[in-house]
Amino acid sequence: MSSRAGIRLSQFSRQFARASPFRRAPGRRYQTTDAAPAPAQGTVSRLWNSPVGIKTVHFWAPVMKWALVIAGISDFYRPPEKLSMTQNLALTATGAIWTRWCFIIKPRNILLAAVNFFLGCVGITQVTRILRHQQSVKAGTVAEAVEQDAKDAAQTVKGTTAVNPEAAAKSAIR
């Protein structure tokens, strides 16, 4: 294709684009400048008409979710052996994942982010309590088992030597 044909093609395409019925005329506006400013809204009407206002699920879901946080806080008074590790891990994961997600979605829901943050904090606290209790029980059990084995061994040695000293010496050699 010669350069002359390329120039003709570009001129033709410009003329076609100018004559297009979908092209907007330059300088034409779709919004008037005569519009009156919006009236100032009160606090209640702004809350009512907000994208995360009282009329929407974005308000009521966090309000109801506070019940989970309050239930988790009431579990602080329960003994750790009666708490469920899987349930509290689920609360922790829910709190962490949804706190992050509340800042990504539109409209950004700060109320839901706050309740999920506290839900994660309660879950972490409970999981920590459960793990510390399990470690203390395990450490106490091992120490008690070693102490009991030592007492049993001492009793066995005393009992064997008292009954038959020669058998005790033979079992000690093996």
pLDDT in tens, 26-70: 666 566 666 666 677 787 787 777 777 777 777 888 889 999 999
86 or 9, which is more confident? 86
Closest CA to 91 of 60, 120, 66: 120
pLDDT tens digits along 117-140 = 999 999 999 999 999 999 988 887
Distance in angstroms between the alpha carbons of the first and the last residue of the chain: 103
* Residue 45 pLDDT: 81
Percent of the chain clearing pLDDT 90 (strictly above): 36
* Mean pLDDT for all residues in the chain: 79
* Residue 156 pLDDT: 73
156 or 105, which is more confident? 105
* Residue 28 pLDDT: 61
Contact 109, 159 (CB under 8 A): no
